[in-house]
Amino acid sequence: MLTADVAIAKYGLPNETGSGYLVSMILPFPMRLSWLPKKTIKSFQCHESVATQLIQIFTAILHQYGFSEIQRLGIDLYGGCFNYREMREGTSLSIHSWGLAVDLDPEHNTLRETSETAKFAQPEYKPMIDIFYRYGFESLGRERNYDWMHFQVKS
CATH at residue 98 = 3.30.1380
pLDDT bin (cut points 50, 70, 90) of residue 36 is very high
pLDDT value at residue 143: 97
> pTM for the whole thing?
0.95
Residue 109, in any domain of the structure:
yes
Residue 127, in any domain of the structure:
yes
User: Is residue 86 over pLDDT 90?
Assistant: no
154, burial (CB in 10 Å: exposed 0-12, middle 13-18, buried 19+)? middle
- Please tell me which residue, 87 or 148, carries the higher pLDDT value: 148
Give the CA radius of gyration of the chain.
Answer: 14
Structural domains in the chain (count): 1
Residue 32, in any domain of the structure:
yes
Residue 73, in any domain of the structure:
yes
Residue 17, in any domain of the structure:
no
pLDDT value at residue 87: 80
Domain that holds residue 115: 4-12+22-153
Residue 45, in any domain of the structure:
yes
Sign of CA dihedral 103, 108, 110, 113: negative
